[in-house]
Amino acid sequence: MRILVIGGGGREHAIVWALKKSEKVTKLFCAPGNAGIAQLAECVPLAVSQFDELTRYAKDTAIDLVFVGPDDPLADGIVDAFEAAGIPAFGPNKLAAEIEGSKIFMKNLLKKYNIPTAKYETFTDYRAALTYLRQHSLPAVIKTDGLAAGKGVTVAATLEEAEAALREAMVDKVFGNSGNQVVIEEFLEGQEMSILAFVDGETVKPMVPAQDHKQIFDGDKGPNTGGMGTYCPLPHIDPAIIEESIVSIIIPTAKAMVSEGRSFRGILFAGLMVTKDGPKTIEFNARFGDPEAQVLLPSLKTDLLDIVLAAMNGQLGKLDIEWKDEAAVCVAIASEGYPASYPKGRVITGISEAEAQGALVFHAGTAEKDGELVTSGGRVLGIVGVGRDIAEARTRAYEAVSVIQFEGKQNRTDIASKALV
């Protein structure tokens, strides 16, 4: 099969890497791709938003299947565009992708179907939101309704922080139209957990649970990012809690989407908080997480393409998906200044040495310039160590991180440490 992957980050590098292992794949293409993906697939200089050009390219190149990586094109209806052109595409259509594209839609869906989540109120008026904030206890969580590259969420410990977050979203329009509406939620205490699942309608096949690290600094301090690292599995979380999350949150959500006429096909990502009252939903995403894909796909034993084809053909329920009895830890290396503004064009060294140590290196924000590999994004690389357990995988990941260098490099030093307590 000739497969086109949409996207150009670390998640898409991991997807391309996983698909490359399938004997059914004859050629891989990626739009737009990056310098790392270019080593595995033919990169196509088209943006993820260029639906007409992408569908035309897919037809002209005789693409058999499209795998959509990022959230924005899914929310904008890229799967609908490919299907209208007669090209099979893996991912939810526009109606189903609204579970990520609108936090208000998602929260209202959960409320309607009694699926556990934090208490919340929604606002379109800045003054009304401000009044509500001043009358309620802190900390509070302020979220933009729409997509904001993983950065439209603020956990505010003080009223000053809460008011600043609200002003940025609704008045200053830092996140554009995503901030026209906001959700203000109660703060949930506990351990965060991500459970992703391959889904086709009411058929749900959960993946190994993972845990992301969103804040930029050690100890979960500083502003939110797209994700500074992740690991799987979660040996410190009771398997009964994981099962409860699947039974009380993920499966009912898939069924609710079918009931709403928005049947979901693709990868459903539940961001959860394990509270003293049990697991509750923080968010749903409509695709692989980034960097969750970078640890989940190396942990997958079953051919990824077989899973995709089973879901596309309504056979997902008949497929037994197997996982390796290993642990994986991903540490993101970022540019200085990230998640705010950051420089580009810094020369990167040490990747071949890291790979020689056995690490997987997934490119997120890289480019080639004058024959050298340089930085071109906020999150530059995802370094994955695989081992018998979290401790071994973590050691391998950080050994590889230490040999990769570029000016202004920053990374967290405590990824996966929660699993070692």
Domains in the chain: ranges and CATH? 2-93 (3.40.50.20), 125-180 (3.30.1490.20), 191-318 (3.30.470.20), 327-420 (3.90.600.10)
Of 67-76, 167-176, 245-254, 373-382, the range with the lowest mean pLDDT is: 167-176
Residue 150, pLDDT above cutoff 70: no
Of 95-109, 174-188, 343-357, the range with the lowest mean pLDDT is: 174-188
What's phi and psi for 148, nearest 5 deg?
-145, 40
* Per-residue pLDDT at 243: 98
- Sign of the torsion formed by the C-alpha atoms of 341, 344, 380 and 400: negative
Judged by DSSP in three states, 368 sits in strand
Q: Looking at the whole model, is its pTM more than 0.85?
A: yes
Provide the token pair at 185.
Answer: 């939620």
Mean pLDDT of 352-364: 97
pLDDT tens, position by position, 365-394: 999 999 999 999 999 999 999 999 999 999
* Per-residue pLDDT at 179: 85
pLDDT tens, position by position, 322-333: 999 999 999 999
- 291-to-3, 235, 280, 363 alpha-carbon distances in Å: 22, 19, 22, 11
Per-chain mean pLDDT for the chain: 95
Alpha-helix residue ranges (DSSP H) falling in 136-191: 159-170
Sheet holding 203-206, edge to edge: 203-206, 191-200, 265-275, 278-285
> 244 near 209, Cβ under 8 Å?
no
Provide the token pair at 219.
Answer: 């100890």
58 membership: H or E segment, kind and range: helix 51-60
- Going by their DSSP bridges, the two strands 360-363 and 379-387 should be labelled as antiparallel
State the DSSP string of 31-49.
Answer: EE--TTGGGTSEE----TT
373-400 exposure pattern, b = at least 16 Cβ within 10 A, e = fewer: bbbbbbbbbbbbbbbeebeebbebbbeb
pLDDT tens, position by position, 93-114: 999 999 999 999 999 999 999 9
Q: For residue 187, give the amino acid letter.
A: F
Q: How far, in Å, CA of 142 to CA of 183, rounded?
A: 6
- Name the DSSP class of 111: H
Provide the token pair at 127.
Answer: 């003054």
